[in-house]
Amino acid sequence: MARKIAAGNWKMNGTGAALAELKAIAEATRDSAAEVLICPPATLVHAAATTMSGANVAIGGQDCHAVTSGAHTGDVSAEMLKDAGASAVIVGHSERRTDHGETDITVRAKTEAAQNTGLLAVVCIGETLDEREAGDTLKVVGTQLAGSLPNSITDENTVVAYEPVWAIGTGKVPTLEQIGEVHDFLRAELVARFGADIGNAIPLLYGGSVKPSNAAEIFAVSNVDGALVGGASLKAADFGPIVAALSQA
């Protein structure tokens, strides 16, 4: 059985003042049976990791470059994130795929970089509204899953996050049946490629307007092992109940 993970993606939000809220999140989730991960902006990774030293909250990055170092102005490598105190990194988020033109090949290279550095790779996949309405959801996420994951994945170095692009930050949420269909499909694909032991143990997170009000019902869906949360992870008052719901699922 896959372990439970509640991950928060702060995106381009937060300055040093946000560390106080991070402490509140740690306190609110102190007794959680689920793993808790917060991915702040790169400028806060070191300070956040220092602040969370000895706490139950792990710190991750939101992206990494595929190579260790070089002439890549403004980019951050997986090695740099680890040196700053991160234990994980998000790769392939739809906002990176859309805004920066990242392909499955790019995401795969970043996943390998994270794994080679000892970081947990949170690999994101998901369909657009047009793809959903065209009936291509499983084809799209299946292609992204196959192309974004290297052969070296294990349940210790990789998490897969399904985020329907049309549900991120919009307040729109797929039906529980739609979420279950995709997660069951992804589980079957992982088992077929990596075998039952690894395929069944890789955590599958759902992301897309997860809130305290809908978290429990989402976590009750087959093969949903946790969540990748956006805006609701910025405040302990919102993220705490989501983590609590996962702990009780």
Catalytic residue from among 93, 102, 112, 189: 93
164, 208, 211, 165: which is closest to 186 by C-alpha?
A: 164
- Give me the count of residues in the chain: 249
Tell me the C-alpha to C-alpha distance, in Å, between residue 196 and each of 14, 184, 188.
40, 14, 9
Three-class HEC string of 156-179:
CCEEEEECCHHHCCCCCCCCHHHH
Structural tokens at position 107? 């995401």
> Quick one: how far is CA 157 from the chain centroid?
12
Identify whether 79 is a catalytic site residue.
Answer: no
Structural tokens at position 220? 């009750």
Structural tokens at position 135? 């009936």
Q: For the beta carbon of residue 55, count every other beta carbon within 10 angstroms.
A: 16
How far apart are the C-alpha atoms of 97 and 92, rounded to whole Å?
6
Phi and psi of 197, rounded to 5°?
-60, -50
Catalytic residue from among 102, 163, 183, 189: 163
Going by the DSSP 8-state scheme, the letter that residue 39 receives in this structure is: E
Q: Could you tell me if 205 and 228 are in contact, meaning their C-beta atoms sit under 8 angstroms apart? A: yes
Q: Could you tell me if 90 and 110 are in contact, meaning their C-beta atoms sit under 8 angstroms apart? A: no
Identify whether 217 is a catalytic site residue.
Answer: no
How far apart are the C-alpha atoms of 85 and 52, rounded to whole Å?
10
Active site residues: 93, 163
